[in-house]
A and B are shown apart, each in its own frame.
Chain A
């Protein structure tokens, strides 16, 4: 089955700096890569996703890049703000008979210091 590794496990930055979280996956058939943000005690919320037919996607201060050859993808947050502090999860999935089953990374605790 799919295995997703996420690094770093914790990340501390100053407000205004950039933050980068990286994930690698094992299943070359995976073609959908979402990122979720989870605030303390709340549900994970989808913040951005990318499909295997593109290499990069951007939404305001958040961007995701995908390298299918190397089987890794990354989340980039620019101009970080204290409200960006949360746990971030990457995930991978493939179509066909997988019915949207997502395999998650272990999460990154991001702390943005004012």
Chain B
């Protein structure tokens, strides 16, 4: 069966520090991968999606970037965090249009 792993679960980082969140999927090949952010427990905003290795599409301009170095690995990064980057970050995967599954999320607090 397919599983999605996301870490860390919580993270407290100072303003201006770098960020790296990782997501991996097991049990499937060539998944579509997504990064979402959820602020204040409401509303999921799509940040990035990827349909293959090295292919990244950005949905909103921001202080973050994403990379997909391997088929089942998706990384969210920032060189310098802002206070406004705080939130609940969720990775998700799908094969085709359906079967959209979320990871357990990372709660990021920028202080």
Identify the A interface with B (CB < 8 A).
Answer: 32, 34, 40-46, 49, 87, 89, 93, 95, 98-104, 106-107
Contacts and interface: CB of A to CB of B under 8 A. Distances in A.
A111 B30 CA distance: 39
Given A40-B41, A98-B97, 6 more contacts: A95-B97, A100-B100, A101-B34, A101-B49, A102-B100, A103-B46
A101 B46 contact: yes
B87 to A, nearest CB: 13
A87 B88 CA distance: 15
Chain B, interface SS category: strand
Nearest to A46: B100
Nearest to B43: A106
Contacts of A42: 104-105
Contacts of B105: 42-43
A48 B108 CA distance: 29
A79 B76 CA distance: 41
